[in-house]
Structure 1
């Protein structure tokens, strides 16, 4: 057997998967290390279409109607489908229509190929009429960036299949429903969305839709209904996402529902949630005028090949970098607490002298992007011009949510008929005339000043609005959809215009660059030593599903949420140890922090410290922006740390290990090197010294002697 055979067999042992791979699968490359061989294709057969790339496979039959009849994880050999459902469902003018699908199955717990010829088409459903196959086109035209990034491609690549369906009824004459499938290069990933074309000559209302309906095998079979159910080994999310810093808390379209047709299931009440449905809770209730096309959201289905958390989340991180390559942008920035021109210019000069790349005019700084008067535009245009001449980018903060405008603008609570009930208690409705004007003002301000960044506090967080007088939505049922569309249209334009977007919400797949790592804001008012330890926990926990460049953390140079002198770093020269500790763990993890204050340094010693940290970060920048392997979570009792890995780089790994205790640590630490791509030997150097050669065992691990001073750290490179 070749090296890949050994590597993959050992990998299975390392991640403790239950699957047994055959020789054919064992000979394949691990796609997380080298995905070049996994090229998407759509194969047309006799009455079949197959989307595949060597990692995932979805097979559809075309007659008597189009339907998915196989869904396979080609890495594990697992068949993911137990029954046949419609390809989608669309509710038009209040009536639900199945899109494709086959009927006639008498058993829904498993599927035999020999049953397929006997199945028939539902005469009340939309019927398959034709298809097209094309190369995948980007839905956001990102051409790359003037900022540092690690993207290897500016858009995902793959193949797109579009199935077209029409209906025989007079009511649906001229209406075409298209179901779009994408299989991607180099990922066990499929996506799906619908579009509806209205050539009926009249307006229609898309009352609701389900863009995916898949019947998966159950993962467990309790007779009585448990409080929690295991789900299939896959990651599902959509680009209709908001309301959180992670995909899980912002996922509002993925539902695991019982399947009433599955009457042979073990659960006595037939409540097994074994039906994946991708849909909206409410709406969209969108008006589709004659000649227009309705665009649904995209649902992404990433098949996982085991139960190891690191491996599964590495797959998710790789998916984000492929689907949204702009998330690899990672400029070095500070948060400035004033807009006084003299202080802004001084901060820009300090950035030049220390190696920083961007100044963000922070919340509370006095920046008001809604002020589009000539005087305000001129002030910030001059500051942007000054920054650009110095090679520094400039941007700033704008608040949308968490405030009240007036009763005619604010979100209306359906229960009370009055303002309120929003996620942040009160918020303006983006689909009001004021909301449209707000977006126009921000866009105008950014264009006229030449700002390079928008930090947008209040990306629409999913509030419903019961107002019936707002200009851009009709009522409660279409309010969330209308506001989401306005948000993503705006964010798509920002991305296409290369404006960096910080947003405390999960809009990565629609153009945002970065959101919070996940922290409690008031913790930055705790004493400095607590902030450092908790901050490192935030980094460790927040980089499971995010790459380092996707997150920001925080450093309160000046007071933030209280805490007084013991919580802040100013005067900086008096707290160099704490300043350095923050920088080491932040830049060492690749996670940028909001260093919030009026300056980066206040003495020669402070300047030297900042410059040394930035110089070190830039020397190892590529590997420090690579994915993190989690070695040990901070707990205050022993060492903790993480390792960056990228098999394509000269430095294939960089390890940081911290000692929070009051005693030195001198011990041998087991380091897992599988994801560095190294096979037999590794050259490991401590703090840039002469490297030593280590032999990898057949679990791709090495035992490395580590010495860490009390309340200190050490770092190692791997080549």
Structure 2
């Protein structure tokens, strides 16, 4: 359907021309298509790239970015906002509430970008609601949008010898960019807001998730059994209409504004309605309340009372009372942003206390309970504010401020990306303290009334290139990605409003960046992958395809040796063996004597000579460097803001200290002068903050994390452009790294050899749920490593050849490369033959072994274990590896589902590279009788 859509709409084809700009008012010519018309009819995990990205107009008049798998929809008037996020495969509408497109904090001021206000409830969002919703008067205005093909975010000098995957770079798809800016009205509104509520000192913010002991509960005599927490919900009142039950407390000194959000529920009172009463030492209370019996707002000042129109009992309302000089100003609001003035009272004294709930007509306690009907109402929130924090603050930065919100949608994947750029025409500039690039309020994944320790999350996998301090995708969560609660979502099932239902992307530390004319700021990028299943395997396949698309360098999978000694003769011997056995990369490993920080001419010339020697043999070479997991000195180490805090690894240099800057300058020069092919970068930057104000590369604490991350990110980008392979034990894939540890415990390699065989396959099985085989390295200690003595050591290799072969069968059979650490790969003709056998096996079947992996049975040492490689686009569409860990031969009847190979009804099967035999399938399922010798394995190839 998407193909036809693109072919018959020339206007859409024009959108793909780079730089083609469409202003907001030109949306009318875009053809309208429904989600059903755009929905892909094929499985995107089998039909690679067949679902093309396009921009179109929905039947509701929204602008939509869709590829037949997902659609993100945007309003253009009265302002830009995300108003839809649909998974077309499942038919789910995931967005439940409108949020700003981004939020910036500039010179200490919060500036929103786009968004709409006035949504009646936040459980779900209807298109026709947006027709009555309003633009936030303080938020930047959407001025135009433009569509272009996706651009490279870094250069990639691909090493085709190490990868059979035909990955596009940049990925195919569309970029949709919205430009937001200021108007005279927005600037005036923000100037007036300097004395508004969000600029005031917050003295109290009680959302009544619990009932503070600071509240005194007061009930009329006939209501002594009534509770201010009906059915366990603090702030909920259920009593007869014309009776009293309220909570009271003193007002904090210097209280200037009282804001109470409440809902009349089923209460039908006229004069006893829920509200606030301000109490004084020298006069009667002032009561400001809801009067559902009159369908009006009520105001009682001593003996004088009046009512105001506009109250809707179906909605929650904000009642606001502001204490001016000799005055009390009362107003109401539906959304807590735009208030309607009701009245201004002259007051000679200042209120000392507050009552919230149901008071009598004059704001006090009635002596008796009257009224036949029992109603239920709720106090939802009380906020007490002081005076303005920055009444004279400078907002000149708003003049000419431009914020661009970028989206990318990828062909053939339910995946989009989002980031923000910030520009100014000012030469003086401003400080961008921090920013929130995503605040996506989505439907919750479960209904949980009580508290939970572990929540089901919405079906969105979120990743950012601003990521560190983890060997898993959790790195993004450590840095800027978080599923948060939504305290404004008052109608959720969870009593304490704890449901994680907002996806937020915001640096936890801030960025603290100076932005001036000609130097725009570009934020981190966020990727959002919409799952179409709860199945773990399918979710893993989706994640792995995402990485191969947006970080295709992870498909490079060279065969690696770790050379234990950096002495010239030892290196040349190892390189010679690598070339003879078919290994493709040699790493001068930790403890080898390789020193990348030795900047002497003698060292550089020696390393270049080794590089040239290896290159002549067809072997890539490079070495190891330790970065953050060490101390330099007090002048250059990170300075923690509190004495009880420590760097992640206990010690760490600041990457923006003098030492840190020299370190990276030295790395650049080393690779430029030697031409070496790879860096194994241990202890990579883990996100440490630094409070120093003397380091040359950052100003202080606020900008320290962002500046350090950019330092290492830019270096990794440079390496990617030069074709330098990066082994980094941290989740830097989206910043350019190539491989990470598959997941293992180093001390396990000191266990007896027979234990290592099973544990190795377990590590691979578990590590490939979220990583492709090429994304993770394993480890083979040919010499003793972390102790263990002769029982743990493979050397002499020829004496432990069955074990050595099993290790290679484990690794090459999984398509996972290991770091073979030692002085040599073979020590006898028979050892060399075994190494070449398994290297040859891998190279013969490299396309399928580097493809996706399906998990069939986890290794446990008690029976067979198995994995299935799948590639529906390849010639070899499947390769099944089955291992027997037992001491006797086994025969098993296996039923293997070949769905993800793309095969149906019939296949050709080859066992251990014998001739292919045609075999019928039961749909996509294959039944195999498998016999495996003791302590061995077998494999089958499917075409």
Per-residue Cα deviation, 1:380-404 (whole angstroms, up to 9, x for no partner): 1111111111111111111112111
Match of 1:333 in 2: 560
Match of 1:653 in 2: 878
Match of 2:162 in 1: 148
Shift of 1:26: 9.2
Q: How does 1:311-710 map to 2 (within 5 A)?
A: 311-416=538-643, 421-698=646-923, 700-710=924-934
Match of 2:43 in 1: 30
Q: Is the 8 A contact 1:337 1:361 kept in 2?
A: yes
Looking at structure 2, the residues matched to 563 and 477 of structure 1 have their Cα atoms a distance apart, in angstroms, of: 47
Structure 2, unaligned stretches of length 5 or more?
Answer: 1-34, 188-394
Match of 1:137 in 2: 151
Q: How many positions carry a matched residue from both structures?
A: 695
SS at match of 1:246: coil
> Are positions 1:231 and 2:246 aligned together?
no
Shift of 1:70: 0.9
Q: Is the 8 A contact 1:144 1:154 kept in 2?
A: no
Per-residue Cα deviation, 1:594-648 (whole angstroms, up to 9, x for no partner): 0000111111111111111111111111111111110100011111010111012
Looking at structure 2, the residues matched to 174 and 612 of structure 1 have their Cα atoms a distance apart, in angstroms, of: 66
Per-residue Cα deviation, 1:312-339 (whole angstroms, up to 9, x for no partner): 1101100100101111111111000111
Shift of 1:464: 1.3
Q: Is the 8 A contact 1:524 1:531 kept in 2?
A: yes
Shift of 1:681: 0.4
Q: Is the 8 A contact 1:525 1:567 kept in 2?
A: yes
User: TM-score of the superposition, structure 1-length normalised?
Assistant: 0.94
SS at match of 1:703: strand
Deviates more, 1:255-264 or 1:175-184: 255-264
Match of 1:157 in 2: 172
The equivalent position to 2:528 in structure 1, one of 301, 313, 322, is: 301
The equivalent position to 1:41 in structure 2, one of 47, 51, 54, is: 54
Q: Is the 8 A contact 1:151 1:321 kept in 2?
A: no
What CA RMSD, in Å, does the superposition of the two structures yield over aligned residues? 1.6
Match of 2:474 in 1: 248
Match of 2:124 in 1: 110
Looking at structure 1, the residues matched to 40 and 495 of structure 2 have their Cα atoms a distance apart, in angstroms, of: 43
Shift of 1:371: 0.8
Q: 1:26 to 1:188 in 2, by over 3 A?
A: closer
Q: 1:527 to 1:249 in 2, by over 3 A?
A: farther
Match of 1:184 in 2: 410
Per-residue Cα deviation, 1:408-453 (whole angstroms, up to 9, x for no partner): 1111222119xx7111110111111211110111111111111011
Looking at structure 1, the residues matched to 36 and 801 of structure 2 have their Cα atoms a distance apart, in angstroms, of: 57
Match of 2:87 in 1: 73
Q: Is the 8 A contact 1:142 1:155 kept in 2?
A: no
Structure ID, larger Rg: 2
Shift of 1:47: 5.7
SS at match of 1:276: strand
Per-residue Cα deviation, 1:533-552 (whole angstroms, up to 9, x for no partner): 11110000011111111110
User: TM-score of the superposition, structure 2-length normalised?
Assistant: 0.72
Shift of 1:471: 1.0
Q: Is the 8 A contact 1:91 1:209 kept in 2?
A: yes
Looking at structure 2, the residues matched to 154 and 574 of structure 1 have their Cα atoms a distance apart, in angstroms, of: 47
Structure 1 stretches of 4+ moved >6 Å: 22-27
Looking at structure 2, the residues matched to 635 and 250 of structure 1 have their Cα atoms a distance apart, in angstroms, of: 32
Q: 1:35 to 1:353 in 2, by over 3 A?
A: closer
Q: Is the 8 A contact 2:150 2:170 kept in 1?
A: no
Shift of 1:234: 1.7
> Are positions 1:289 and 2:302 aligned together?
no
Match of 2:485 in 1: 258
Looking at structure 2, the residues matched to 399 and 554 of structure 1 have their Cα atoms a distance apart, in angstroms, of: 18
